[in-house]
Amino acid sequence: MDSMDAPEFWDDQAAEFDEAPDHGLRDAAVRGAWAGLLLPLLPPAPARVADLGCGTGTLTVLMAQAGHRVAGLDFAPRMVALAREKIAAAGVAADVVVGDASSPPWKAGSFDVVLTRHVPWALPDPEAALTMWIDVLGPGGRLILIEGRWSSGVGLGSADVAELVLRHRSEAEVTRLDDPALWGTPIDDERYVITSRR
Ligand SMILES: C[S@@+](CC[C@H](N)C(=O)[O-])C[C@H]1O[C@@H](n2cnc3c(N)ncnc32)[C@H](O)[C@@H]1O
């Protein structure tokens, strides 16, 4: 089997990826929970948002529907193809490209927000990637890192990710995401969002 830092690993999961309630947000209550969490974390629309490791583009579309100018990036071509289909079906404008989240192909200062959901844990060098993400943020830009250490044994703990962020930024606010409405089921592991505005 391919390792999770190979695009083939994620391409193999693309067709079924949206079946998980928090991935596809097909259930209105779960979708509403993510909208209620995420949209207030963003600056007023239209903000320029980079959704790195965007997968099938579910959050890309959610944010574009709220009026943001979203660019998605993922290194798995099947994920990108599904994201583009989802964007077209939703009738919103958002660009999604195949690329490496560890070195996004954008100029410094291109975005107001860099958002990732469940991505740093899958990267070979999360700190190196983080420095690139900070680079593509303009002054006052926000980092929004949704991450977890799951009961499956994989993932990154909030203290470790906060410590990583604080090596490069002065704020790393951790909010636990324990609400079962976000996941479509009760959870007993560590899920959180780290917000860094400076
Ligand atoms: C757990 S999925 C999360 C997808 C999406 N962010 C979401 O929450 O629905 C992880 C995603 O990160 C992508 N990914 C992992 N490593 C990557 C890298 N180095 N560059 C770009 N994408 C990457 C995978 O292809 C996959 O789509």
Task: pLDDT tens for the chain, 198 residues: list them.
Answer: 468 889 999 999 999 999 999 999 999 999 999 999 999 999 999 999 999 999 999 999 999 999 999 999 999 999 999 999 999 999 999 999 999 999 999 999 999 999 999 999 999 999 999 999 999 998 899 999 999 999 999 999 999 999 999 999 999 999 999 999 999 999 999 999 999 999
Q: Which SS3 state, helix, strand or coil, does residue 25 take?
A: coil
φ, ψ of residue 38 to 5 degrees: the values are -80, -45
Interatomic CA distance for residues 197 and 143, integer angstroms: 7
Q: What separation in Å is there between the alpha carbon of 192 and the centre of ligand 1?
A: 17
Chain center to CA of 28: 20
Cα 158 to ligand 1 centre (Å): 19
94, 71 contact by CB (below 8 A): yes
Q: Which of 37, 75, 84, 127 to probe ligand 1 with, by most ligand atoms within 8 A of CB?
A: 75
Distance 171 CA to ligand 1 centre (A): 24
Give residue ranges with CB within 6 A of ligand 1. 10, 23, 53-55, 58-59, 74-76, 79, 100-102, 117-119, 122-123
How much distance in Å is there from the Cα of 107 to the middle of ligand 1?
21
Q: Is 57 within 8 Å of 84 (Cβ atoms)? A: yes
Residue position matching structure tokens 């207030």: 40
Predicted local distance difference test score (pLDDT) of residue 1 = 46
Which residue among 10, 80, 115, 145 is best mutated to probe the pocket of ligand 1, counting the most ligand atoms within 8 A of its Cβ?
10
The structure's pTM equals 0.97
| Residue 108 and residue 99 in contact, taking contact as beta carbons nearer than 8 Å | no
Q: Please give the C-alpha separations between residue 139 and each of 76, 77, 111, 116, in angstroms, as whole numbers.
A: 30, 32, 9, 19
Ligand 1 atom nearest residue 22's Cα:
9
Q: Are 31 and 61 in contact (CB under 8 A)?
A: no
Burial class, 62, CB count within 10 angstroms (exposed 0-12 / middle 13-18 / buried 19+): buried
Q: Residue 102 Cα, ligand 1 centroid: separation in angstroms?
A: 11
Of ligand 1's listed atoms, the one at least distance from the Cα of 51 is 6
